[in-house]
């Protein structure tokens, strides 16, 4: 496989940070170069193009979400437990890859075709894992009979937003955040006892 030089790793890490902070379009190649304290043209020793950089980040991040959540999705556990664990795992990926996750969740839209459509498909496949477990829960009469797409979108939007507010230096561990979110979404805000 292709080994990734240490310097290229720095380029990628800086790009992740800037793309997630300011957005892909608002980050110029010169901004990125300045953050690395080199000239803009020098970036092209490490990277083929600005969009290739975005693509690489998006690609690797998608891999990580799949690698973390897919095993849980395929495991044999009861439905409630499975959804809980998937939420916790998903949130964990976000919290430990805040910058890259922002690309997975938002900035991928700025890929150009055909990559953009391919990526949208990949994201849809990812979300289908959540959709499937939710459908399962509905069929088992364990989950409420909302439209299955509605429930999926509501849960995903609530947990995805984590990437905008989670701070690694805060007091909450990623796991605790995931537990709180799954508990909230499964049981609701209202006290029942």
Stretch that binds its own copies, among 38-46, 90-98, 123-131, 148-156 (CB under 8 A): 148-156
Tokens found for residue 73: 């999705």
Q: Which of 48, 161, 173, 175 binds its own copies (CB under 8 A)?
A: 161
Q: Which of 113, 144, 167, 169 binds its own copies (CB under 8 A)?
A: 144
Stretch that binds DNA, among 41-49, 116-124, 135-143, 170-178 (CB under 7 A): 41-49
Contact criterion met (CB below 8 Å) for 183 and 96: no
Which residues, other chains included, contact 172 with Cβ-Cβ below 8 Å and sequence gap of 6+?
166, 180
> Which one of DNA, its own copies, none interacts with residue 165, CB within 5 to 8 A by kind?
its own copies
> Which one of DNA, its own copies, none interacts with residue 5, CB within 5 to 8 A by kind?
DNA
Q: Which of 16, 131, 137, 178 binds its own copies (CB under 8 A)?
A: 137
Which residues, other chains included, contact 6 with Cβ-Cβ below 8 Å and sequence gap of 6+?
none
DSSP per residue, 122-141: HHHHHHHHHHHHHHHHHHTT
Which residues, other chains included, contact 127 with Cβ-Cβ below 8 Å and sequence gap of 6+?
152, 156
Closest separation in Å from C-beta 166 to its own copies: 10
Residues in contact with its own copies, shown as a per-residue x/- string from 3 to 42 under the rule CB under 8 A: --------------------x-xx----------------
Rounded to whole angstroms, the Cα distance separating 82 from 190 reads 23
Q: Does 146 bind DNA (CB under 7 A)?
A: no
Q: State the DSSP code for 112.
A: P
Q: Which of 67, 77, 124, 158 binds its own copies (CB under 8 A)?
A: 158
Burial of 46 (0-12, 13-18, 19+ CB in 10 A): middle
Q: Does 192 bind its own copies (CB under 8 A)?
A: yes
């Amino acid at each position: 496989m292709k080994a990734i030089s240490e310097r290229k790793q720095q380029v990628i890490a800086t790009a992740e940070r800037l793309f997630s902070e300011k957005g892909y379009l608002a980050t110029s190649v010169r901004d990125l170069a300045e953050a690395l304290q080199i000239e803009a043209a020098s970036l092209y020793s490490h990277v083929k193009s600005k969009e290739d950089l975005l693509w690489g980040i998006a690609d690797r991040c998608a891999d990580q979400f799949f690698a973390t959540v897919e095993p849980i999705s395929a495991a044999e556990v009861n439905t409630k437990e499975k959804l809980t664990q998937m939420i916790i795992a998903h949130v964990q990926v976000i919290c430990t890859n805040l910058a890259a996750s922002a690309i997975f969740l938002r900035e991928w839209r700025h890929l150009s075709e055909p990559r953009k459509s391919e990526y949208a498909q990949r994201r849809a496949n990812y979300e289908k894992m959540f959709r499937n477990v939710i459908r399962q829960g509905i069929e088992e009469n364990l989950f409420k009979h909302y439209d299955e797409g509605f429930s999926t979108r509501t849960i995903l939007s609530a947990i995805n937003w984590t990437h905008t507010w989670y701070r690694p230096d805060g007091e909450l561990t990623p796991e605790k955040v995931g537990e709180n979110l799954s508990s909230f979404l499964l049981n609701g805000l209202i006290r029942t006892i």
